[in-house]
Structure 1
Amino acid sequence: MTSWESKALSFINQTSRWDKDKHISSFLTFSINLLKNLFQTNITLQIEFEDESTARVKNASPTYLDDMVLDPEPIRKLLYSNGFKTIYWQSIPTAGHALKDLLQAFSSAIIIPLATEPTNSIILMGWSEPMTFNNSFQECVETIRLRLKEILTYSQQQQHFQKVASRYAAIMHTIPHALIFINNDGFSGWVNQPAAELLHLSGPGEQLPAILSDAMLQLRSKTTNAAEIYQEAMRLFSSQQNSITSWEWKFASPEEMSYNVTCLPVLSQQVSGRLWIFEKKQG
Structure 2
Amino acid sequence: MSIWERKALNFINQTSRWDKDKHISSFLAFSISLVKNLTGADIALQLEFEDEDTAKVKCASPVHLNDIVLNPEPIKKLLYAHGFKTIYWRELPVPKENVFKEVLQALSSAIIIPVNTTPNNSLLVLGWSEPPSFEPDFVECIETIRLRLKEILLQSQQQLYFQRVAIRFAAILHTIPHALVFINNDGFSGWVNQEGATLLGLSGPGEQLPAVLSDAMMQLRNKALNTEEIYKKAVHLFSSPENALTNWTWQLENSTLSVSCLPVTTQQISGRLWIFETLDQ
The reply to whether TM is greater than 0.5 is yes
Aligned pair 1:242/2:243, yes or no? yes
Give the aligned partner of residue 89 of structure 1: 89
Give the aligned partner of residue 257 of structure 2: 259
Shift in alpha-carbon separation, 1:219–1:116, aligned structure 2, 3 A: farther
Percent identity between the two aligned chains: 65
Supply the distance in 2 between the matched residues of 1:164 and 1:273 (Cα, whole angstroms): 20
Aligned pair 1:64/2:77, yes or no? no
Give the aligned partner of residue 177 of structure 1: 178
Supply the distance in 2 between the matched residues of 1:197 and 1:118 (Cα, whole angstroms): 50
Shift in alpha-carbon separation, 1:270–1:59, aligned structure 2, 3 A: closer
Which of 263, 275, 280 in structure 2 is aligned with 1:277? 275
Give the aligned partner of residue 35 of structure 1: 35
Aligned-residue offset at 1:135: 1.2
Supply the distance in 1 between the matched residues of 2:241 and 2:102 (Cα, whole angstroms): 72
Shift in alpha-carbon separation, 1:241–1:38, aligned structure 2, 3 A: closer
Aligned pair 1:7/2:19, yes or no? no
Helix, strand or coil: the match of 2:252?
coil
Moved over 6 A (4+): 116-119
Residue pairs, 1:105-254, within 5 angstroms: 105-115=106-116, 120-238=121-239, 242-252=243-253, 254=254
Helix, strand or coil: the match of 2:238?
helix
Shift in alpha-carbon separation, 1:42–1:240, aligned structure 2, 3 A: closer
Aligned-residue offset at 1:216: 1.0
Q: Which amino acid aligns with 1:173?
A: H
> 1:191-228: per-residue Cα shift (whole Å, max 9, x none)?
11111111101111111111111111110111111122
Helix, strand or coil: the match of 2:116?
strand
Superposition TM-score, scaled by structure 2 size: 0.92
Shift in alpha-carbon separation, 1:53–1:267, aligned structure 2, 3 A: same
Supply the distance in 1 between the matched residues of 2:130 and 2:120 (Cα, whole angstroms): 32
Helix, strand or coil: the match of 2:197?
helix
Unaligned runs of 5+ in 2: none
Shift in alpha-carbon separation, 1:209–1:98, aligned structure 2, 3 A: same
Aligned-residue offset at 1:8: 0.6
Shift in alpha-carbon separation, 1:209–1:151, aligned structure 2, 3 A: same
Which has the higher mean CA deviation after the structures are superposed, 128-137 or 197-206? Answer: 128-137
Unaligned runs of 5+ in 1: none
Supply the distance in 1 between the matched residues of 2:14 and 2:240 (Cα, whole angstroms): 54
Supply the distance in 1 between the matched residues of 2:39 and 2:3 (Cα, whole angstroms): 11
> 1:113-154: per-residue Cα shift (whole Å, max 9, x none)?
122789722211122223331211111001011111112211
Supply the distance in 2 between the matched residues of 1:241 and 1:4 (Cα, whole angstroms): 56
Aligned-residue offset at 1:62: 3.3
Shift in alpha-carbon separation, 1:13–1:200, aligned structure 2, 3 A: same
Q: Does the 8 A contact of 2:226 with 2:250 survive in 1? A: yes
Superposition TM-score, scaled by structure 1 size: 0.92
Shift in alpha-carbon separation, 1:116–1:130, aligned structure 2, 3 A: closer
Which has the higher mean CA deviation after the structures are superposed, 115-124 or 191-200? Answer: 115-124
Q: Which amino acid aligns with 1:247?
A: W
Helix, strand or coil: the match of 1:131?
coil
Shift in alpha-carbon separation, 1:105–1:218, aligned structure 2, 3 A: same
Q: How many residues align?
A: 280
Aligned-residue offset at 1:27: 2.1
Aligned-residue offset at 1:182: 1.4
Q: Which amino acid aligns with 2:152?
A: I
Aligned alpha-carbon RMSD (Å): 2.0
Q: Which amino acid aligns with 1:121?
A: S
Supply the distance in 2 between the matched residues of 1:70 and 1:240 (Cα, whole angstroms): 58
